[in-house]
Amino acid sequence: MFDLLGVVVEALDSENVVHMVAGSVASARHGEARATQDIDIVIDPSPDQMDRLLHRLRSGNLYVGDGHAALAHRSAFNVIDTRSGWKVDLIVMRDREFSRVELGRRQPATFGPVETHVASPEDCVLSKLEWASGSGSERQLRDVRSLLAIQGPSMDTAYLERWAAVLGVSDLLAEVRPQPGT
Amino acid sequence: MEPADTRPDARRVQLEALRALGPDGRSELVESLSEDIRLVTLAGIRERTGEDDEAAQVGELIALWHGPAAAAAVARRFPAP
């Protein structure tokens, strides 16, 4: 899985596209490790960078989806390694303050031999709470509980509370936070 | 809510072990768990379909994991020889 991550990160770095690993791989890195079928990477390319990125990726055994449409709609497109079945979802950063702040707070990280960046633990929590708020997913909340338990006091609680209020997930944050004495 | 099949004391041990691994160790665990699941899935596909061709097995895995639309798009771009 990290082989494909390495190929995609190398292409992103070559075109100077700001990016970070997010989603389940990021939250598993900060919290409870679990198996996954794909890797989410948030990207913030210009149209020219997207052109060059697609050209770079469209070689060998990679299937590459419609990056131009993803950029126009601020959505995602797939890169699939047809030899292994692993998939990377390249997600164009949403045009909102939280997404810009989140990408700005990315942290250096290594995944096996791959040096890249990853969403911060706080931003993983906020993204999962936002996802859970829309989907009602108990699994997302379980992941957040594990993440909070493993990170412990190193979490920036003021940041969490501030952005939970902006994103409308303060109630969910209160629900998943460890109670005193637990 | 904690996992229903794990006692609280066992859960504490589990969380402590995950904490001790550190971020790089947890990342490696993600890759290892994911690769194990991929190999088990491919073995299941081989058993169910009797398919010997590795590329066809991966095509089935892509359909199973990423959906029929993704599998069809990949097949259009990389048609079987």
Mean pLDDT of chain B: 91
Which residue from B minimizes the CA distance to A138?
A: B1
Give the minimum alpha-carbon distance from B65 to chain A in angstroms, rounded to a whole number: 7
Instruction: Say yes or no: B23 contacts chain A, CB-CB below 8 A.
Output: yes
Cα–Cα distance for residue pair A130/A132, rounded to 1 Å? 5
Considering only CB atoms, A33 lies closest to which of B26, B37, B77, namely B26
Partners of A33 on chain B (C-beta within 8 Å) are: 18, 21, 26-27, 29-30, 33
Condensed to tens digits (0 to 9), the pLDDT of residues A13-70 reads: 999 999 999 999 999 999 988 899 999 999 999 999 999 999 999 978 999 999 999 9
| CB distance A147 to A126 below 8 Å | no
Is residue B61 within 8 Å of B74, Cβ to Cβ?
A: no
Nearest by Cα to A121 from A97, A149, A155, A153: A155
pLDDT over 60 at B1, yes or no? no
pLDDT (tens digit per residue) in A70-104: 999 999 999 999 999 999 999 999 999 999 999 99
**Is the ipTM reported for this complex over the cut 0.85?**
yes
Q: Does B3 touch chain A (CB under 8 A)?
A: yes
Q: Are strands A38-44 and A18-22 parallel, antiparallel or unpaired?
A: antiparallel
Q: How many CB atoms lie within 10 A of CB A56?
A: 17
